[in-house]
């Protein structure tokens, strides 16, 4: 692959990985606020109004923004029944089909989530709690996460077709 192609591939992959790394810190934040809630509730008999909903919102953001980084590192669950039974060329074809299906599904989910976010913002939907968090804040990470997932899958498919070889074999599946 020419150096200019490697540069844009590396830029896309490092951006997706950085987003995944940053979003993983949300889980630490969730742990801290839940620990605060436990202490507040059980030691001081003063439960909070905001921890449960804030942690739920954080889980949505962290989870959906981590998906693309996990795929880039081959850390998603995969069933290898067929790929283990075929030769190397067929593995390339199966991986290409997988990436194409993933990209298509991610594009559809991302679009629908964006439509839902826009609709929720337009009508002013919010949670039925004290915080009244707008629902578009729950739909937006789904749209962004699946868009990034689409980008990662499309990138993998493009590189697979361009090179005819599977990438990142060092990150192969684990045997159970």
Residue range 109-136, pLDDT digits in tens? 999 999 999 999 999 999 988 889 999 9
- Token duo for residue 61: 């953001």
What integer pLDDT is reported at residue 12 of this predicted model? 83
What integer pLDDT is reported at residue 141 of this predicted model? 96
Q: Tell whether the model's pLDDT for residue 27 goes beyond 80.
A: yes
Q: Tell whether the model's pLDDT for residue 59 goes beyond 80.
A: yes
88 or 6: which carries more pLDDT confidence?
Answer: 88
**How confident is the prediction for the chain on average, in pLDDT?**
86
**What is the average per-residue pLDDT within 58-71?**
91
Distance CA 110, CA 143 (A): 4
Distance CA 97, CA 60 (A): 28
2 or 6: which carries more pLDDT confidence?
Answer: 6
Distance CA 143, CA 131 (A): 23
13 or 34: which carries more pLDDT confidence?
Answer: 34
Distance CA 105, CA 119 (A): 21
Nearest to 22 by CA among 72, 78, 61: 61
Tokens 């709690």 found at = 129
pTM score over 0.95: no
What integer pLDDT is reported at residue 176 of this predicted model? 47
Q: Tell whether the model's pLDDT for residue 143 goes beyond 60.
A: yes
């Amino acid at each position: 692959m020419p150096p200019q192609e490697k540069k844009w591939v590396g830029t896309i992959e490092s951006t997706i990985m950085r987003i995944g790394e940053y979003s993983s810190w949300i889980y630490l934040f969730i742990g801290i606020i839940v620990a605060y809630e436990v202490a507040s509730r059980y030691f001081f008999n003063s439960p909070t109004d905001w921890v449960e909903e804030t942690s739920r919102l954080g889980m949505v953001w962290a989870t959906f923004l981590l998906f693309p980084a996990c795929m880039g590192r081959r850390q998603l669950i995969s069933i290898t029944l067929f790929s283990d039974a075929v030769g190397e060329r067929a593995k390339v074809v199966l991986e290409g089909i997988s990436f194409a299906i993933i990209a298509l599904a991610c594009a559809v989910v991302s679009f629908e989530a964006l439509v839902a976010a826009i609709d929720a913002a337009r009508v002013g939907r919010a949670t039925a709690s004290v915080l009244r968090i707008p629902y578009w804040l729950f739909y937006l990470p789904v749209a962004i996460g699946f868009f990034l997932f689409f980008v990662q899958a499309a990138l993998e498919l493009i590189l697979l077709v361009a090179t005819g070889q599977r990438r990142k074999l060092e990150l192969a599946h684990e045997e159970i």
